[in-house]
Structure 1
Amino acid sequence: MERHEKLKPFSLLDQAWIPLHYEGTRLWVTYQQLLCGEKKGKLCLPRDDLELAGVQLLVAITQVCFTPADRKELLARLKKPLSTDEFLKGVKDKKDWFDLNHPVTPFMQIRGVKASKSTPMDKLLAGVADGTNKPFVNPHGLAEGLCGSCTAIALFNMANNCPSMGGGFKGSLRGSTPITQLITEPVTQLITEPDLRRTIWLNVLHQERLSNIVMPWYQATAQQAPNYVDPVKAGEKIRATNIGLARGLLWQPAHFELLPAEDTGCCSVCNVTAPLYKGFNKAKFNYTVEGNWPHPLSARTFKIVKGKKEEKFPSFTTTAPGWTQLSRLVVAMESSKEGQIPAPVLLQIRDDGLIKQKHLRFVIGGYRNNQATVLERRHEFFSLADGWAEHGEVIHYIIKTGLAYKTALRKALYLFSEGIKDKNKEIKGSGVNLCQSGDDLYFQQTEQWVRDSFADINFKEPLPTIDCLRVQLKQTVLELFDQLTKPYRQEPKMLKALALARRSLNKSLAELQAVVTEEN
């Protein structure tokens, strides 16, 4: 333990570790300067996933140290920065939790991890060390050495948002690659750039909501420490309802221990000159969590299976854009068989009126993975017009409409490839599978229209916006069909398949129009 006692502290509570961009300049500020309003700006990191995780980490620290008593106190925090005395009082008993080099309870680490060899830092950056395309996407040496700021964010991100490191390593409390949702402040004439301090408070839950709605066991578990401070026993079975707020937000599912930072150098991620961490030790550690912990920044879906409620957190499982999942992220629905619960911070915004503007702006992020391998990083912004909270059926209908036109195109392209064969008719397909290309192009060309529809729609009178969207989607589908099949029009053996596909597309589009006419 002696070598750790000699390490220079790197505390997230008083070190200048937060990179901000303000009026064309990047500056590094302390957590106190940020919450006390002494410095402001927008978080500035070169990777979108680390930027999202950085905000998420700041929200977690704030939620743990400064949980407001009620709506009134939360509104006061949004309006006015903390005083120095308020800040020092809030962090007083938490200083040992947030020191990256603490000799006994280092942030998100366990002391004394035994490993046959150290692990390079690229394993802490999702998608850098794995994947067949890594040499083309990630330049050589991207994670050769990380500063304390990037290391702390990467540790937190790995624990909360990334797939586990493979067999024997546990994943986060929310599963493998959950979607994280953060409320951001709507941009107005008076607010031209979101204020990071206010963004943090918009994603903090107050005690009344925690105790009465989100986490009925909040008070009983309020004194719990993170599991890297008060470790889990090997093989232990833990009920999710026994995990307190601080313990859950700062949950570390694996046993990691950073090797001491070496000589000063240039951080491979943010380019700041600082002492660099170049490796860590890791070890497998087994335990079981029973049930789902209600994370404040995540929506949940559930199904009733054999009389039992089975919950899970939405994740990115396909290349489809985030708007296809928007309904389950913002609309609360429940039936006798299934349901969906938006993120607690979104429901708090809906119910408590924390912002004067009635429209909602938020960001979602996460990863698409195949087991331990990250296939794709996702980071998307959304804006919902005034009325979103009362008109979930309109949101659902827009998503349904967007997917229906995509399905019409895919069905036609499938018939072009496979043809048909039944008792009365046989048409040989082309054998050319264009379905995935059609899906990808459709989403690329229509995504902005769908986003604009959500942002600009009058939810009380939605038909003009929806009708305009339908026209755009129909035209796109027709153009994409012609574009994708054009190379095969001169092949006589493919003409019948092409005619079959065209008839299918026309029929599907006519049926979609008939539904519209009937609804009107």
Structure 2
Amino acid sequence: MNLLDEAWIPVRRSNGEQDWITPLQITDPTIVALDARRPDFNGALIQFLIGLVQTTTPMDSEIEWKQWNEQPPTTEQLQQWFELVREAFVFDGDGARFMQDFSLRTEGVKEKDFNPISGLLIDAPGENTLKENKDHFVKRDTVNALCLSCTATALFTLQVNAPSGGQGHNTSIRGGGPLTTILLAGDSHFLWQTIWLNIKRQSDFLAVNGDATKTELEYSFPWVKTMNVLQLEGGQLTPIQVHPAHNFWGTPRRIRLDLEHVFVGDCDCCGRQSGVLVDRYITKAKGFNYKGGWNHPLSPYYENKPGEMLALHPQPGGIGYKHWLAWSLGLQGNKKNVQPASIVSYVLESQRLKGKQCRLYAFGYDMDSMKARCWYESTLPLYGLSEKNKDELNAVQREIQRWLEAADLASFLLRDAVKSSWFVRKADGSLDARGDYSFIDASFWSQTENGFYQLLRSLIDQAREEDEDIVFTSLREQWRDLLIKTAIRLFDADLVGAAPIAQQNPRRTAEAYNRLCASLRGDKLKETLKLQTAKAAKKTKKSKQDAA
């Protein structure tokens, strides 16, 4: 079985029907989207297809990119592209297998040393969870066997997202459960457009994060040879030791599927009947240990310490407009520096989307070490961002950073006011209010999201190479007004005011309310947004009077 020939990728066609295709069919105009039963499978499959095309395409100019965007490659052309890497996509047999350790073998392995196939699923309950009978939400024994299609997808999903798996079971190139962001064209109506939009010119792709002279197959696809070809026992693997394509094909986990112990039945994931169901695999510790300077094209990175950039990971609370700036244009500040995924910057600067609306598709697991807390995915609008030149993009970046800082301040003031209403202050002015109050912040950010995107659209439309403080003043006033009204409404109606009268302290509530209103309307919020403060207005008035 070769994954380049096998119809193993689930898709949805324009007539609404589900189908399974080979990678050679991705340019079929009737295919509108991936359609696996699990969202993490869809997230992995789009990365698989982008990685496959990026690794093999000869495209090296924007003229070629545009030609193949308008007139996609034929099946024969794709076959020519993929032919050079065919050996790396063999899924079974006695030799090298896709994403499996070359040196491991299942023959002679004791029954107790096999792992159930459910172990490939990141959200499957772990050994300790099962021992302590804590599998309340994701139950044990729901996935006992997978067809070859779902097995291949599960294996790739694990390798590309690999969380910490205990001592010696390493994380992925981007760490455990990385955030992935890809661009979507506003008018895209079939799968090829999404894949092709996220492909760099070949010379640009090869110029960074690896050694392009290492053209032997194992430097891109490490499973085609034994591990020690690339990494000595106990060593590490850095970008300069491999080809840039290795970013897409990292295999931190040493796994070998048992493809001899198979049977007939229904797949526990896709539900299709299969003549080859896989129910177990073996694994071994001390796989590839990815360290130092990796920069995956599809992930944003943050500065962990000077000179060290690490891939971002989804966090509790989900995906919202507070992430818009960092993931689309980047974030620069005293507390945190974030670079958007290199493909995002690349496409926005290339003008590929000129005249088109675009969106940012973000997804990934929120991991707590080995435990998957949640899967998040969302689409963030970018409106006409791709129409703007570098100076205009910088203006938008600076302005949105102020807006987000103002929202942070308003959220803090709201949270403090609610806690002041609910709890008695100590003599030193502090509150004995231990607990999780993240729901207050979540409510505030949620309630201001629609307003943010409405104003964002106007901001991008108005971004010009002019004085930002003059152009954007009206929008800043509107944003400040929205923050104030939202915070007061949440305090008065949804949080404090919604509690039964018997449980309220009228005096504390009134004091907290008045302090919240005064703080929100005070100079601090205005200063954050670079609006004229009351103090500055008085100073200006006095200067005019003195001049007169």
Same fold (TM over 0.5): yes
> Relative to structure 1, is the Cα distance of residues 39 and 488 closer, same or farther in structure 2, using a 3 angstrom cutoff?
closer
Displacement of 1:364 in angstroms is 0.7
Q: What is residue 196 of structure 1 aligned with on the other side?
A: 191
2:222 and 2:503 map into 1 onto residues whose CA distance is: 68
Given residue 381 of structure 2, which amino acid in structure 1 is its aligned partner? S
The DSSP-based 3-state class of the residue aligned with 1:100 is coil
Q: What is residue 122 of structure 1 aligned with on the other side?
A: 118
Displacement of 1:49 in angstroms is 1.8
1:154 and 1:454 map into 2 onto residues whose CA distance is: 38
Given residue 116 of structure 2, which amino acid in structure 1 is its aligned partner? P
Q: What is residue 221 of structure 1 aligned with on the other side?
A: 214
The DSSP-based 3-state class of the residue aligned with 1:19 is strand
Given residue 231 of structure 1, which amino acid in structure 2 is its aligned partner? T
Q: Is the 8 A contact 2:145 2:277 kept in 1?
A: yes
Residues 455-510 of structure 1: per-residue CA shift (max 9 Å, x gap): 56434255555544444433332222132223656358834432342233223311
Deviates more, 1:466-475 or 1:55-64: 466-475
The DSSP-based 3-state class of the residue aligned with 1:375 is strand
Given residue 54 of structure 2, which amino acid in structure 1 is its aligned partner? Q
Displacement of 1:136 in angstroms is 5.2
1:186 and 1:324 map into 2 onto residues whose CA distance is: 22
Deviates more, 1:163-172 or 1:257-266: 257-266
Q: What is residue 501 of structure 1 aligned with on the other side?
A: 512
Written as runs of structure 1 = structure 2, the 5 A alignment for 1:403-414 is 403-414=408-419
Flag structure 1 segments of 5+ consecutive residues without an equivalent.
1-8
Displacement of 1:287 in angstroms is 5.1
2:294 and 2:434 map into 1 onto residues whose CA distance is: 46
1:312 and 1:378 map into 2 onto residues whose CA distance is: 19
Between Structure 1 and Structure 2, whose CA radius of gyration is higher? 2
The answer to whether structure 1 residue 208 and structure 2 residue 210 are counterparts is: no
Q: Is the 8 A contact 1:241 1:293 kept in 2?
A: no
Residues 408-445 of structure 1: per-residue CA shift (max 9 Å, x gap): 2112123334543346xx69x68585723312322343
> Relative to structure 1, is the Cα distance of residues 256 and 299 closer, same or farther in structure 2, using a 3 angstrom cutoff?
same
Given residue 153 of structure 1, which amino acid in structure 2 is its aligned partner? T
Written as runs of structure 1 = structure 2, the 5 A alignment for 1:73-84 is 73-84=64-75
Q: What is residue 540 of structure 2 aligned with on the other side?
A: none
1:493 and 1:263 map into 2 onto residues whose CA distance is: 64
Q: Is the 8 A contact 1:12 1:98 kept in 2?
A: yes
Q: Is the 8 A contact 1:222 1:245 kept in 2?
A: no
Displacement of 1:137 in angstroms is 3.9
The answer to whether structure 1 residue 518 and structure 2 residue 532 are counterparts is: yes
1:337 and 1:488 map into 2 onto residues whose CA distance is: 36
Q: What is residue 486 of structure 2 aligned with on the other side?
A: 476
Displacement of 1:38 in angstroms is 6.5
Q: Is the 8 A contact 1:417 1:434 kept in 2?
A: no
The DSSP-based 3-state class of the residue aligned with 2:496 is helix
Q: What is residue 56 of structure 2 aligned with on the other side?
A: 65
The DSSP-based 3-state class of the residue aligned with 1:122 is helix
> Relative to structure 1, is the Cα distance of residues 71 and 142 closer, same or farther in structure 2, using a 3 angstrom cutoff?
farther
Deviates more, 1:141-150 or 1:480-489: 480-489
Task: Pick one of 81, 88, 91 that aligns with 2:79.
Answer: 88
Q: What is residue 323 of structure 2 aligned with on the other side?
A: 325
Displacement of 1:324 in angstroms is 2.1
Q: How many residues are matched?
A: 497
Q: Is the 8 A contact 1:243 1:293 kept in 2?
A: no
Displacement of 1:69 in angstroms is 2.3
Q: What is residue 5 of structure 1 aligned with on the other side?
A: none
The answer to whether structure 1 residue 107 and structure 2 residue 102 are counterparts is: no
The answer to whether structure 1 residue 29 and structure 2 residue 21 are counterparts is: yes
Residues 319-350 of structure 1: per-residue CA shift (max 9 Å, x gap): 25343233222224668997432212112212
Q: Is the 8 A contact 2:363 2:376 kept in 1?
A: yes
2:499 and 2:336 map into 1 onto residues whose CA distance is: 45
The answer to whether structure 1 residue 490 and structure 2 residue 501 are counterparts is: yes
Given residue 331 of structure 1, which amino acid in structure 2 is its aligned partner? L
Written as runs of structure 1 = structure 2, the 5 A alignment for 1:310-321 is 310-319=308-317, 321=319
Q: What is residue 238 of structure 2 aligned with on the other side?
A: 239
Q: Is the 8 A contact 1:121 1:280 kept in 2?
A: yes
Q: What is residue 340 of structure 2 aligned with on the other side?
A: 342
The answer to whether structure 1 residue 395 and structure 2 residue 393 are counterparts is: no
> Relative to structure 1, is the Cα distance of residues 442 and 110 closer, same or farther in structure 2, using a 3 angstrom cutoff?
same
> Relative to structure 1, is the Cα distance of residues 473 and 514 closer, same or farther in structure 2, using a 3 angstrom cutoff?
closer
Written as runs of structure 1 = structure 2, the 5 A alignment for 1:376-455 is 376-387=374-385, 390=393, 391-422=396-427, 435-455=437-457
CA RMSD of aligned residues (A): 3.1
Q: Is the 8 A contact 2:54 2:202 kept in 1?
A: no
Residues 144-173 of structure 1: per-residue CA shift (max 9 Å, x gap): 222222222221121112413223200001
Q: Is the 8 A contact 2:143 2:269 kept in 1?
A: yes
The DSSP-based 3-state class of the residue aligned with 2:440 is helix
Q: What is residue 6 of structure 1 aligned with on the other side?
A: none
The DSSP-based 3-state class of the residue aligned with 1:383 is strand
State the TM-score, normalized to the length of structure 1.
0.86
The answer to whether structure 1 residue 175 and structure 2 residue 175 are counterparts is: yes
1:146 and 1:209 map into 2 onto residues whose CA distance is: 39
> Relative to structure 1, is the Cα distance of residues 327 and 102 closer, same or farther in structure 2, using a 3 angstrom cutoff?
farther
Flag structure 2 segments of 5+ consecutive residues without an equivalent.
464-470, 538-548
2:173 and 2:38 map into 1 onto residues whose CA distance is: 24
The DSSP-based 3-state class of the residue aligned with 1:61 is helix
Q: Is the 8 A contact 2:163 2:177 kept in 1?
A: yes
Q: What is residue 302 of structure 2 aligned with on the other side?
A: 301
2:122 and 2:377 map into 1 onto residues whose CA distance is: 14
Given residue 301 of structure 1, which amino acid in structure 2 is its aligned partner? Y
Q: Is the 8 A contact 2:163 2:370 kept in 1?
A: yes
